[in-house]
């Protein structure tokens, strides 16, 4: 996002000269230690960025008063055990959301992955997931296959479709962060695979997970997924998963 950038700290806007040539490590210190809020605004919209656990209340209230001058839409990017990103299309919506986050600033997350099963009736499924649920057909390029291994008693990523969400975020490597078995993310998201194999029926979930991206930055990623039992020529227990980044009905803050 190109345009004007300024910092707010201690409840006031800092001189523009104070942020020239700022380095990433200095920026991190400003967010976490100083409680600073960074504002970037231009013709494409506005970004407000801060760390929730820092002493940032005064600076956020300054930002709220300034928001009527902001270009729309307004992207709120805040750190809480990973970066959240939310887009607001009106000033009132942005103000309300910032105030909600301030009100829950003492929240400490004990988990980094949340999964909830839903009945797709009445839900806003992404078009591809809607088609899969209605037609019971999954294209290999959009899905990821996971095989259950008796020895480890865990599911292993067996194949990654070139157009799958994992491929778009991490590439085709079966050992990327999102594909590794045994970590907390894997343990939570793979619980559904066993239920699908036992029932023999597809399952529709909303998922919110703090994922370490290839650039080593942790982001909270919301996505919807469909898990289906997969027929395997080798008679292995396996499932196919199709996921799409989308709005979910899991709210942490």
pLDDT tens digits along 142-155: 999 999 998 888 99
Q: CA 42 to CA 39: how far, in whole Å?
A: 10
What is the pLDDT of the chain when averaged over all its residues?
A: 90
Q: Residue 250: inside a domain, yes or no?
A: no
CATH number at residue 228: 3.30.450
pTM for this predicted structure: 0.81
Using alpha carbons, select from 165, 45, 157, 26 the residue that is nearest to residue 94: 45
Q: CA 101 to CA 40: how far, in whole Å?
A: 20
Domain count, the chain: 2
**Cβ 144 vs Cβ 125: under 8 Å:** no
Q: Residue 34: inside a domain, yes or no?
A: yes
Structure tokens at 222: 């919301």
Is the pLDDT confidence value at 107 over 80?
A: no
Residue with tokens 């227990």: 237
Q: Residue 19: inside a domain, yes or no?
A: yes
Looking at the structure, tell me whether residues 160 and 232 fall in a common domain: yes
Looking at the structure, tell me whether residues 30 and 88 fall in a common domain: yes
Q: Residue 38: inside a domain, yes or no?
A: yes
Look at residue 79 in the predicted model and tell me its pLDDT.
93
Q: Residue 162: inside a domain, yes or no?
A: yes
Q: Residue 108: inside a domain, yes or no?
A: no
Looking at the structure, tell me whether residues 25 and 122 fall in a common domain: no
Looking at the structure, tell me whether residues 132 and 230 fall in a common domain: yes
Q: CA 184 to CA 189: how far, in whole Å?
A: 9
For residues 23 and 222, the model is more confident at: 222
Looking at the structure, tell me whether residues 180 and 212 fall in a common domain: yes
Domain end position, chosen among 57, 79, 103: 103
Give the mean model confidence (pLDDT) for residues 44-48.
96
pLDDT tens, position by position, 53-67: 899 999 999 999 999
Domain end position, chosen among 103, 122, 157: 103
Q: Residue 194: inside a domain, yes or no?
A: yes
* Torsion-angle region of 21 (φ positive above 0: left; ψ -120 to 50: alpha; else: beta): left
Q: Residue 49: give the domain boundaries.
A: 4-103
Q: Residue 252: inside a domain, yes or no?
A: no
Residue 177 pLDDT level (bands cut at 50, 70, 90): confident
Looking at the structure, tell me whether residues 133 and 222 fall in a common domain: yes
Domain end position, chosen among 103, 133, 168: 103
Look at residue 235 in the predicted model and tell me its pLDDT.
66
Is the pLDDT confidence value at 203 over 90?
A: yes
149 bridge partner residues? 154
**Cβ 161 vs Cβ 142: under 8 Å:** yes
Looking at the structure, tell me whether residues 239 and 146 fall in a common domain: yes
Look at residue 1 in the predicted model and tell me its pLDDT.
42
């Amino acid at each position: 996002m190109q345009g004007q950038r300024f910092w707010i700290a201690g409840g006031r806007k800092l001189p523009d000269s104070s942020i020239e040539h700022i380095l990433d490590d200095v920026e991190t210190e400003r967010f976490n230690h100083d409680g600073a809020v960074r504002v970037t605004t231009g013709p494409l919209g506005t970004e407000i960025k801060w760390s929730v656990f820092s002493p940032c209340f005064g600076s956020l209230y300054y930002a709220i008063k300034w928001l009527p001058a902001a270009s729309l839409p307004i992207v709120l990017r805040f750190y809480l055990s990973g970066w959240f990103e939310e887009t607001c299309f009106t000033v009132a919506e942005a103000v309300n959301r910032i105030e909600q986050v301030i009100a829950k600033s003492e929240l400490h997350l004990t988990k980094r992955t949340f999964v909830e099963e839903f009945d797709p009736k009445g839900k806003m499924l992404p078009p591809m997931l809607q088609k899969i649920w209605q037609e019971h057909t999954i294209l290999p390029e959009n899905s990821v296959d996971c095989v259950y291994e008796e020895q480890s008693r865990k599911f292993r990523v067996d194949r990654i479709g070139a157009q799958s969400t994992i491929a778009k975020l991490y590439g085709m490597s079966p050992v990327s962060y999102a594909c590794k078995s045994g970590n907390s993310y894997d343990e939570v998201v793979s619980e559904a695979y066993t239920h699908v194999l036992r029932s023999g029926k597809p399952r529709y979930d909303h998922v919110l997970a703090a994922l370490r991206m290839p650039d080593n930055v942790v982001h909270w990623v919301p996505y919807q997924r469909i898990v289906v039992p997969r027929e395997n020529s080798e008679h292995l227990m396996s499932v196919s998963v199709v996921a799409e980044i989308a709005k979910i009905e899991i709210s942490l803050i």
